[in-house]
Amino acid sequence: MKPDIRIGYGWDSHEFKPGIPLKIGGVKLEHTHGLGGHSDGDVLLHALTDALLGAVAAPDIGALFPPSDPKWKGADSAVFLHEALERVSGAGYEVINVDSTLVLAAPKIGPYAAALREHVATLLGIAPDCVGIKAKTPEGMGTDHAAIAHAVVLIAKS
Ligand SMILES: [Zn+2]
């Protein structure tokens, strides 16, 4: 019998804009720029949301929460993550762990990594040691004006 586990993968990017708050993984980071976008621009929560949705073959974040819908303007991205978790539990699965990589020139994620891990774990209802948060600078990519997030999730039949 095959083990009833699934993986999901998500990717997102948002452009830095001056003078707006920066939120990554639901945590406010001190920076001169924030991430633009129709919701709060939380690139990490969006990548995690798409990873969860992908794991249960649900429609993606853009289909469920269209940027054209004024309802989602400035929305807290935790709402999107919550809906994705509902889809996962509705399909009979629970989250085992997640891993992620942020690609951004600034700010440095290191000082915030523990807080990010803790907060994302709380949002997902899993332990902080089941949340990977890694960060890289975009060497040679020419994407210093943007933040990018990659995320993978593992879910298992509950
Ligand atoms: Zn996004």
35 forms beta bridges with 16
How much distance in Å is there from the Cα of 109 to the middle of ligand 1? 18
Average pLDDT, the chain: 96
Kindly indicate the confidence band of residue 108, based on its pLDDT and cuts at 50, 70 and 90: very high
The pTM of the full predicted model, rounded to 2 decimals, is 0.97
| Count of other CB atoms within 10 angstroms of residue 9 | 13
How much distance in Å is there from the Cα of 133 to the middle of ligand 1? 17
- 3 pLDDT higher than 90: no
How much distance in Å is there from the Cα of 40 to the middle of ligand 1? 8
Give the percent of the chain with pLDDT over 90. Answer: 92
- 121 pLDDT higher than 80: yes
**Coil/strand/helix, residue 11:** strand
SS3 assignment for 80-147 = HHHHHHHHHHHCCEEEEEEEEEEECCCCCCHHHHHHHHHHHHHHHCCCHHHEEEEEECCCCCCCCCEE
How much distance in Å is there from the Cα of 3 to the middle of ligand 1? 32
